[in-house]
Amino acid sequence: MSETKTPATRPWRRRILRGLGALCGALLLVGGVLLADAWNAMGTSADGARLERMKESPRWGGEGFVNPMPMVEPELMEATARWLEGGDHRTPESPPPIERRARADFEAAPEGGLRITWLGHSTMLVELDGHTLLTDPIWGERSSPSSWLGPKRFHAPPLPLEELPELTAVLISHDHYDHLDTPTIEALEARAPRYLVPLGVGAHLEYWGVDPARITEVDWWDEVEIDGLRLVSTPARHFSGRTGFDKDATLWTSWAMIGPEHRVYFCGDTGYFHGFREIGERLGPFDATMLEVGAYNQLWRDVHLGPEQAVRAHGDLRGEVMLPVHWGTFDLALHAWTEPPERLRLAAEREGVRVAIPRPGQSVLPSSPPDVARWWPTQPVQTADEAPVVASHLDERALGAAAVMH
């Protein structure tokens, strides 16, 4: 019996095995390509002279960089579980409206010498006293090491990357994926821009092919002067890392951009801390502040501001007009995507702060900011009372500001 059955079953088995083999091969190949993609995006760690310089920073804590103000560690397990659970209105039902822009829009110098254009998330094009700066550029499809997995952008980039005007420098705040986007850095290489980055971040840039001669690494309060423009690295309360094994291996920073006529401040990513007051005292007042208002939650209360604390920071910084950043492009938290501007409007009104809430691609002249008009849909959101975000370790008497900064 077995002799007659064997020849009949063997070809089938062989075919199945061959099919499975081909499938595994194809999966491995695709997996390999995707992994190579992600592997490249994870960047690399600092070594040699770069690492030695990092270790000399007052911010170096032995294993990595440390915030001067103590932090409550984010509750990552609960945060991830709740993020995966999903929620109402965290992403728009249809792409939000954008203003499509082209290089011609930036050919003429802005009236009054200062114009700020929101290109989505924390990507700002700042035209200031004859200079043009770009912050945390992200043109990539996802805020993730992978091109096929991770938070996907809500809207197309309002300005094609190749339409960017000539840049004085690109300023990077830290190495998280939504601020340091590998495909964007690689695409920007065609224009060979100059980079100003916090300590350690240059290692990633070099790994992706940026000429070290075009990278300047800075510690807090270091400043770089370019043709009359002062670019000052200022403190922030945050963290860094791209792999899960490199937490705080590179520094995070905010930036003050100081021209002969105008001053602006860009916060990068930060929780609320007393350092804002010192930045305001030393480098303010600012014609405009760009402050993050999205991706907040009390579960990670020391690493993102949220709208109410952003308004408070604007006051500490001695800002004139506040522009919100870090919202409206990626779903990185648990709140409705329209909650940041709704809460910001109320908080700004309550505190008497002038705020401009541009749509992606819209330019703002801080000397004559547009009225706040709701361009996003009206939908249910949680209020500041229902879901407050309050940073830890704040000395409400505010006497500790100097003590915590040094």
Q: Enumerate binding residues for Zn ion (CB under 5 A).
A: 176, 178, 269
Q: Which is nearer to Zn ion, 178 or 339 (CB)?
A: 178
Total Cβ atoms within 10 A of residue 209: 9
Tell the smallest beta-carbon distance from residue 57 to Zn ion (Å): 19
Is the CB of 197 or the CB of 229 nearer to Zn ion?
197
Q: Minimal distance in Å, beta carbon 221 to Zn ion?
A: 21
Of 269 and 316, the one with the shorter C-beta distance to Zn ion is 269
Please state the closest distance from residue 173 (CB atom) to Zn ion, in A.
8
For residue 354, the minimal CB distance to Zn ion (Å) is: 25
Work out how close the CB of 194 gets to Zn ion at its nearest, in angstroms, rounded to a whole number: 23
- Picking from 17, 30, 45, 68, the residue whose alpha carbon sits closest to that of residue 302 is 68
142 to each of 194, 263, 289, 317, how far by Cα in Å? 24, 32, 26, 32
Q: Which is nearer to Zn ion, 45 or 379 (CB)?
A: 45
Nearer to Zn ion, 176 or 314 (CB): 176
Looking at the Cβ atoms of 176 and 263, the one nearer to Zn ion is: 176
- Please state, in angstroms and rounded to a whole number, the distance separating the CA atoms of residues 187 and 21: 37
- Given a contact cutoff of 8 angstroms between Cβ atoms, the answer to whether 254 and 266 are in contact is yes
Q: Give least dist CB 119 to Zn ion, A.
A: 15
- 3-to-11, 17, 51, 61, 273 alpha-carbon distances in Å: 14, 21, 70, 73, 81
Tokens of 323: 């522009």
Considering the complex, state which of residue 132 and residue 143 has its C-beta at the smaller distance from Zn ion.
143
Tell me the closest approach of the beta carbon of residue 58 to Zn ion, in angstroms: 21
Category of 209 on φ-ψ map: left (φ > 0), alpha (ψ -120 to 50) or beta:
left
Nearer to Zn ion, 168 or 329 (CB): 329
CA–CA gap between residue 383 and residue 399 (Å, rounded): 30
Cα distance between residue 312 and residue 305, in whole Å: 9
Distance of closest approach, residue 91 Cβ to Zn ion, in angstroms? 17
Q: Of 101 and 174, which CB lies nearer to Zn ion in the complex structure?
A: 174
Determine if residue 311 is left, alpha or beta; phi over 0 gives left, psi from -120 to 50 gives alpha, anything else beta. alpha
Q: Is 389 left (phi over 0), alpha (psi -120 to 50) or beta?
A: beta
Distance CA 350, CA 330 (A): 28
Strands 223-226 vs 229-234: parallel, antiparallel or unpaired: antiparallel
Gap between the Cα atoms of 253 and 220, Å rounded = 7
| Residue number with CB closer to Zn ion (121 or 263) | 121
Q: How far is the CB of 98 from Zn ion (least distance, A)?
A: 20
Give dist(CA 267, CA 321) in Å, integer: 14
User: Please, what is the minimum distance in Å from the beta carbon of residue 201 to Zn ion?
Assistant: 12
Q: Quick one: which of 28, 74, 10, 131 has its CA closest to 296?
A: 74
Give how far Cα 61 sits from Cα of 64, 66, 218, 246, Å.
Answer: 6, 6, 17, 14
